[in-house]
Structures are given as C-alpha cells and as structure tokens.
Amino acid sequence: MALRDVAPDLGRNTGITLDLDWVDRVRVNRSAAERRADTLTKRRTVKKQWQAAWLLKAITLMDLTTLQGDDTAGTVRRLCAKAKRPLREELVDRLGVDSLGIQVGAVCVYHEWVATAVDALRGSSIPVAAVAAGFPHGQSPFEQRVAEIEASIGAGATEIDIVITRAHVLTQNWKALYDEVAAFRTACGEAHLKTILATGELGTLQNVGKASAVCMMAGADFIKTSTGKESINAVLPVGLTMMRAIRDYRDRTGFRVGFKPAGGIRTAKQALDWMILMREELGVSWLTPELFRLGASTLLTDIERQLEHFATGRYASASRQPMV
C-alpha cells in the first residue's frame, strides 16, 4: 500500500530538515506535464446544476484581492463588503442558496490596508491576507522583509503571502532559499505562510518542482504560483508540477500543504479547470479553503455572470456585478 493511503494528517506543516538528496532527485517531464494538464481539463467537465454548484464552491475558495497603486480605504471597504456577500441578493434568492452563507476564502491587500480590511470584516470569519517580503520583486533588504511580515501581523493579518528570492532558485542555492523561507515562517508565528514562487521567472518546471519541495521543507503552509505581476502567471502545467510536489511531500512527511494559483485567472472556465486539476491530482479533500485558494481580482464578476445565466437563461452585463 502506498504511503499516501496510510500517512496521517498531522495538521499544519511544521517543516522538516532540508534534504538536498530529495531536492536533487526531483525530475519533471515538461511535455508529459503539458499533455496531462491539457487533456485532463478537456476530458473532465461539469454542466448545468453541477457546474453551478462548482462555481458556488469556487467563490468560497477565492482570495478576493486588490493590489493596485490607486487602492484607497474606500476601495478596500467595498471589496470587503463584496467578500461578505459576493452574490447579489436577487441572484441568491433565484438560486435558493441563502442558507449556505457563501463568502470568499480571504481578502488579500497590501500592508497599508490590513487594518482597514480587518475592521471592515469584523464579525465575519473571513481572514485578511497581506502581501509582504518585498512583494512583488522580493529584492528589498532581508531585515526589512521580515519587518513587513511582523508589521502586517501586528495590524491583524492572519495570512501572509511572501515572495521568494528568485535568484536562489536560478543559482540552485537551496540552502539560502530554505533559510529565507524558514525565517519568514518564524516571523509569521501563528499566521499562515503562503509562499509565492513567481514561477514565470524560474525558467523550468524542474526548478518549480525543486523550489516547491524546498519551501515546504522550510514550513510553508501554502505554495503559490505567482504574484500576478509577472508576464507569465498561473498556468496549468506549472500547477500540475506544484500539486505533485505537494503530494510527494504529503506521502513522505504526512503534512498537507495548500496550493494557490494566482494571476490571470479571470473566467469561470479557468476556475473550473483549476478545481478539476486539483481534484484529480490531490483529491476532493483538498478542495477546501484550508488547502486551496484561487487568487483573483476579476474572477468573481464572470462567475456571477455564469450563475445568472444558469438561473435566468440570460447573460447579464458585467456592470450588473460590480466588484467595488
């Protein structure tokens, strides 16, 4: 029997000692990964009421995000109001889902707006995630990056999305990457650490697989594809590589690590593709906010349009589903 069939769920990932032999053995066949990602999402589809149910589930997995230079307190408060009631009341009534209490998985903002988001979400169970550690470039002094994490936690964030130093991966300096992420994990304390690999800047899928393993060894609670600011963000072959690294880590250690694709996920169809890939690679148990998030700023608008079409037979203008 495979270890994945018997390994216990040990709760939050505590990390393990860096195992360079493990890292060295990571291999990724790009053509096979691309073929698997392409064919899987074409063979697995959901329609009609099942599609509507999956899209409602997708909302609960969403990190509703605003990371713009023109963010204001008003923008963040409106985003938080949308997070608490992501669907228009009329649509909720038509779908008959009011009793489900649907809300998003988290709200993600810059440090400047953490306290505003915490205040706006008071009374709900929605966590506030803050981007930190020199987001999105990861090039600021190390002490400053740690201080950013501590400041955001002090302001009330319970999830921290950090970026790694890409140079550590590109130069294969796995000890430096491990030490960096471990230090960020220590700075997070009880807050959950979501580690952004910025996969579009790592060169190869093999680098993505190795970096995923090292970050999990260092104690990452989630591994995340992208900042959303790179030229290439969340793509399915990269996601497949990271999911298989998560599965391997679970098989070897017993710890379950979450996964977050982010950047460029704008349509309901894309959200369904990611959910299908997650279900096939890691199983239904990973399709929860504790283990899977969709980083999104505009995705919710298209999901609302698809749900309105299911309920009424008509596609509404995007302006009927304003985000903020």
Residue at 230: amino acid letter: E
Pseudo-torsion of CA 224, 228, 230, 236, nearest 10°?
60
Alpha helices in 13-123 (DSSP H): 20-25, 30-43, 48-60, 73-84, 89-95, 114-120
| pLDDT confidence bin for 99, thresholds 50/70/90 | very high
CB atoms within 10 A of CB 208: 27
Looking at residue 231, its pLDDT comes to 86
* pLDDT at residue 2 greater than cutoff 70: no
Mean pLDDT, the chain, rounded, equals 93
Phi (first) and psi of residue 124, to 5 degrees = -105, 175
- Going by pLDDT thresholds of 50, 70 and 90, the confidence category of residue 4 is very low
- Candidate list 63, 161, 248, 302, residue with the active-site label: 161
Residue 54 CA from chain centroid, whole number: 17
The model's pLDDT over 273-296, given as tens digits with 9 standing for 90+, comes to 999 999 999 999 999 999 999 998
> N- to C-terminal Cα distance for the chain?
51
Averaged pLDDT, 188-197: 97
160-171 pLDDT, tens digit each: 999 999 999 999
Backbone angles phi, psi at 208, to 5 degrees: -60, -45
pLDDT class of 175 with cuts at 50, 70, 90: very high
224 catalytic per annotation? yes
Please report, for residues 121, 237, 295, 309, 315, the alpha-carbon distance to residue 85 in angstroms, rounded to integers and kept in the order given. Answer: 11, 33, 18, 19, 21
Supply the pTM of this predicted model: 0.93
Check if 161 is active-site. yes
- Of these residues, 224, 248, 273, 302, which one is catalytic? 224
Q: How far is 178 from 32, CA to CA, in rounded Å?
A: 28
For residue 11, the model assigns a pLDDT of 81
Query: Which residues in the chain belong to E strands, given as ranges?
Result: 62-65, 106-109, 128-132, 159-163, 192-196, 222-224, 258-260, 294-296
CA distance linking residue 91 with residue 12, whole number of Å: 37
CATH topology of domain 3-320: TIM Barrel (3.20.20)
**Per-domain residue ranges of the chain:** 3-320
Q: What letter would DSSP give residue 152?
A: H
Angle at 69 between CA 301 and CA 199, to 5 degrees: 70
pLDDT, tens digit, for every residue of 221-260? 999 999 999 888 999 999 999 999 999 999 999 999 999 9
Pair 153, 189: CB distance under 8 Å: yes
pLDDT digits (tens, 9 = 90+) for 120-174: 999 999 999 999 999 999 999 999 999 999 999 999 999 999 999 999 999 999 9
Q: How far is CA 15 from CA 55, 126, 172, in A?
A: 33, 26, 20
pLDDT for 232:
87
Per-residue pLDDT reduced to its tens digit, 7-32: 456 789 999 999 999 999 999 999 99
pLDDT at 47: 86
For residue 151, what pLDDT is reported?
A: 98
From the candidates 63, 194, 260, 302, which is the catalytic residue? Answer: 260
Active site residue 71: no
